[in-house]
Structure 1
Amino acid sequence: MRKTPFHIQSRRSFLKSSIAGAAVAVALPAGAFAQAKVLKVAGIYTVPVEQQWVSRIHIAAVAAQERGDIEYTYSENTANTDYPRVMREYAEQGYDMIIGEIFGVEQEAREVAADYPDVAFLMGSSFKEDPALANLSVFDNYVQDASYLSGIIAGAMSESGKIGMVGGFPIPEVNRLMHAFMAGAKEMNPDIAFQVSFIGSWFDPPKAKETAYAMIENGADLLYAERFGVSDAAKEKGILAIGNVIDTQPDYPDTVVASAIWHFEPTLDAAIAKVQAGTFTAEDYGTYSFMKEGGCSLAPYGTFEGKIPQEALDLVAKRTEEIKSGAYTVTINDEEPKSS
């Protein structure tokens, strides 16, 4: 585990532009929280903050700090075996809220939370909230709306009708995104075929890259990059990719056509407001990631403007409005996806 204060992290160029943009995007009216307590918030992450999923939490926390709502510090690369200990350390230090991900340490983390009823815990989890544990709320990145839209683009851009999909682990938060993406692709091409593989890691770019190579050898001409490393393989082999959670097109301008973006700000801001108001309790914050809540979006097409079939663009626009209005609902399927 390495504890890294924000002033050191700010030197990391990978997150600089995203953090600056988030600070502007979520800026609130002056004095909105003028009378509210500035919360001490700690993040605990099992991977580097550059990793897609965690980076979205980190960016939202930095924005809240720059806005003046919280004082934020974090620990990254925390092993699951150390996670409960780090939770206790922050709780003992008087932090008001602890955020992070307990997918691999559910029982132990909930036992720690029970020992500190005055500390609010907002944790990524595959399980639901427990009313008996009032100070622990759960969340997940329910960005199936944006994933579905990115699938429409993928279905229109694949010429071979073969798409490769590389994920970390077949857990609900990954499975639902893949299923939504596949549903979108099938709207453009009902006969499209998928190769699906999981690398058994949240951060192993070389392994993800090798898995993607194999899919390309098997005929895939477009890849779903749920993990880092996949877009590198696509770039090297001259095929296209669809991003996930973050917008990587600036790094792969000729490769990444579109990306489903997760915005953690609505989730974190709702929790901050409730802690400040003294109303924080056990809840499932998953719906704050829905498109209608501002929790996800489809990234700008950038260098692919004018290169995507109009039929796909029209359907994306139509579905976007329907999703926001509630007229169309993207199916949430948490079962493990299979290859065609």
Structure 2
Amino acid sequence: MTTRRLFTGHLLATSIALSAALGLAPSLAAAQAKLKVAAIYTVPFEQQWVSRIHKALKAAEARGEIEYKASENVANADYERVMREYIAAGNQLIVGEVFGVEAAARKVAKDFPKVQFLMGSSGKPQAPNFSVFDNYIQEPAYLTGMIAGGMTKTNKIGMVGGFPIPEVNRLMHAFMAGAKEVNPKVEFTVTFINSWFDPPKAKEATLAMIDKGADVLYAERFGVSDAAKEKGKLAIGNVINTQPQYPDTVVASALWHMEPSIDRAIKLVKEGKFTAEDYGPYSMMKHKGSELSPLGTFEKKVPADLVAKVRAREAEILSGKFTVKVDDSQPKSTAK
């Protein structure tokens, strides 16, 4: 070994020792300290529900808190295999949605008790390491229902959902209750397309509703707002704000923010305090997990008295004076 290489080695060692003495972790140690997180999605990243989880994880990655890897469009049959591959790669927190693969995902969690899991699920937490979450955004969904009930001129509202599971049902029921509060005459046509991502099918279902008189459409799925735009009708968004893409169509949306849940999970894993729990409540308005979107381009198009009613109800929800009922049963059409 040359004198120069010896000197360089001593210099590096001295530098690391000095950094440690000053409480400054070397960059290598800092990189190793990052929590390794993997997410597994059965739909594309841009699908509205998954996009909120992906966005929250990308934000944590941008802050330098985690090392983040993700797979999209994973078939249910491949889900368990992908989970095990990410675990074998050293990931400490696995995130995803397991509605169609509950048994397989929970089996993996049992096989790896030292790995932590935060999964979108209709089921309960599974000790010691399998937490569940859900988009409990029924509160802003109720508020958007109030807006829809006040904006319809035909008193006919069309609703297109993915699957009639609790995660969808509770939002639809809340929306319907909000609409009924301001407009007892309103009628609903409810359709499920049995897919989480099939915009053409959702559009087709919506066009059929419009043909029967619906002039406000609840866009639980992508494709609904396209039909509403094409026919000059109004739409109410869900989970994400699509008004920028449909400025003359989407009046308002019930927004979901996954950051409170993701940030909590990351913090607890790092502290060694992660346990099996239900993260659903962290999607509620009081935790900033959801909100009513700004009216934006419809600021002056929604009647002032209707806006006042919505704001009053919103304040009551935030203060705890008003509770939006959670109804997970399948909603039914009421239109004759």
TM-based fold match above 0.5: yes
Quote the Cα distance in structure 1 between the aligned partners of 2:33 and 2:285: 30
Q: Tell me the percent identity.
A: 66
Structure 1 residue aligned with 2:163: 169
Structure 2 residue aligned with 1:62: 58
Quote the Cα distance in structure 1 between the aligned partners of 2:58 and 2:92: 16
1:124-161 Cα deviation digits (max 9, x unpaired): 0001112xx31110000000011001111111110000
1:191-241 Cα deviation digits (max 9, x unpaired): 100000000000000000000000001110010000000000000000000
Structure 1 residue aligned with 2:46: 50
Query: Which residues of 2 match residues 1-340 of structure 1 at below 5 A?
Result: 37-130=33-126, 133-340=127-334
TM-superposed deviation, 1:320: 1.3
1:75-127 Cα deviation digits (max 9, x unpaired): 00000010010000001111010100000000111001111111110000001
Quote the Cα distance in structure 2 between the aligned partners of 1:179 and 1:310: 25
Structure 1 gap ranges (5+): 1-33
Question: Are the equivalent residues in 2 in contact too, given 1:37–1:276 (CA < 8 A)?
Answer: no
Quote the Cα distance in structure 2 between the aligned partners of 1:312 and 1:226: 23
* Secondary structure of the structure 1 residue equivalent to 2:207: helix
Who wins on radius of gyration, i.e. which is larger? 2
Quote the Cα distance in structure 1 between the aligned partners of 2:236 and 2:149: 11
Structure 2 residue aligned with 1:20: none
TM-superposed deviation, 1:37: 4.0
Q: TM-score, normalised by structure 2?
A: 0.89
* Secondary structure of the structure 2 residue equivalent to 1:73: strand
* Structure 1 runs of 4+ with >3 Å offset: none
Question: Are the equivalent residues in 2 in contact too, given 1:205–1:230 (CA < 8 A)?
Answer: yes
1:245-289 Cα deviation digits (max 9, x unpaired): 000000000000000000000010111111011010100000000
TM-superposed deviation, 1:315: 1.4
Question: Are the equivalent residues in 2 in contact too, given 1:42–1:73 (CA < 8 A)?
Answer: yes
Quote the Cα distance in structure 2 between the aligned partners of 1:195 and 1:37: 52
Quote the Cα distance in structure 2 between the aligned partners of 1:315 and 1:333: 23
AA aligned to 2:266 is: I
AA aligned to 2:40 is: I
Measured on the aligned residues, the alpha-carbon RMSD in Å equals 1.2
Quote the Cα distance in structure 1 between the aligned partners of 2:238 and 2:33: 35
Q: TM-score, normalised by structure 1?
A: 0.88
Structure 2 residue aligned with 1:26: none
Question: Are the equivalent residues in 2 in contact too, given 1:121–1:135 (CA < 8 A)?
Answer: yes
